[in-house]
Amino acid sequence: MFKILKYSFYDLARSRWSYIYFLFYFILALVLLFLNHDLSKAVITLMNVIIILVPLIGTIFGVMYYYNSREFTELLLAQPIKRKSIFLGQYLGIAISLSLSLLLGIGIPFVIYGLFNSAAIWDFSLLLLTGVFLTFIFVALAFNISIDNENKIKGFGYAVLLWLFMAVIYDGLFLMSLVMFEDYPLDKFSLIGSMLNPIDLSRTLILLKLDISVLMGYTGAVFKQYFGTNVGLFTSLGVLFIWIIVPVRRIVIRAKRKDF
């Protein structure tokens, strides 16, 4: 598995898309810090970008890599190698590669602007941690979609639809539900609803740490009311970790049962 992971990682490290992904975040962070020297405000702005863009890139990259390396995967399947090792190695290779591009792209400009001497270092660390979680989650979801669909067009379509639902449609449906049933107690409903969407949960996690009551919204306020700041942070991280474990477990199960 580690050999396949290393191959997948180096294969993506040589890809120009990985450099474009790195340069995008590098330039974005430099521009934000150049225009506003307040690191805390830059973290808030980056949050709005990361929680939308990272899931999109993770989903698209995951689907692209799976379909482009399908012939190589079939060659590996003909060898005496466990299917679990093949697919987990490829998954970890692309997830780690994208996470590294994100960490370096955003981290280097902030370090240059004196991150280690700033009080915003913990908020920034949580922002990067959330970005890594979202990368691992949506690459895993993309692999699940790709394994289930042999047709590339259908696979890409479902992947984009998944991101669109999680990033845009889900929030609209959730808000409509809160408005329609406003006469009923909705605290537990809002908690469960936010946990069922890793993007919403990531936003709540960061806002809990920043403690910005104006931006927190109803769900963030309920999170803080039920769990408090610290317990809410660990609860959110725990649920995000489950969001990684469940899709990865399904990758292993589907890889064992699927007739390639």
Confidence of residue 40 (pLDDT cuts 50, 70, 90): confident
Give the model confidence (pLDDT) of 131-143 as tens digits: 999 999 999 999 9
User: Can you tell me the distance from the alpha carbon of 100 to that of 94, in angstroms, rounded to the nearest whole number?
Assistant: 10
- Position 254 scores a pLDDT of 87
Count of Cβ atoms closer than 10 Å to residue 137 Cβ: 29
- Element (H or E) spanning 95, and its range? helix 83-112
Evaluate if residue 187 carries a pLDDT over 90: no
Selection from 4-18, 165-179, 206-220 with the highest mean pLDDT: 165-179
Confidence of residue 34 (pLDDT cuts 50, 70, 90): confident
- Position 150 scores a pLDDT of 86
Mean pLDDT of 114-129: 82
> pTM to 2 decimals?
0.90
Count of Cβ atoms closer than 10 Å to residue 172 Cβ: 9
Give the model confidence (pLDDT) of 194-235 as tens digits: 888 898 888 877 777 665 544 555 555 666 666 556 677 788
Lookup: tokens for 98? 């994208």
- Position 6 scores a pLDDT of 80
Give the model confidence (pLDDT) of 50-97 as tens digits: 888 999 999 999 999 889 888 888 888 888 888 888 888 899 989 999
Lookup: tokens for 45? 């702005």
Mean pLDDT of 141-153: 91
- Position 226 scores a pLDDT of 60
**Identity at 111, one-letter amino acid code:** V
How far is Cα of residue 16 from the mean position of the Cα atoms in its chain? 21
Q: Kindly report the average pLDDT of the chain as a whole number.
A: 83
Please choose, from the candidates 229, 35, 38, 230, the residue with its C-alpha nearest in 3D space to the C-alpha of residue 120.
Answer: 38
- Position 225 scores a pLDDT of 64
More confident residue, 227 or 193: 193
- Position 134 scores a pLDDT of 94
- Position 214 scores a pLDDT of 47
SS3 per residue for 128-183: HHHHHHHHHHHHHHHHHHHHHCCCHHHHHHHHHHHHHHHHHHHHHHHHHHHHHCCC
Mean pLDDT of 231-258: 87
More confident residue, 215 or 145: 145
Mean pLDDT of 147-158: 90
Domain residue spans of the chain = 2-257
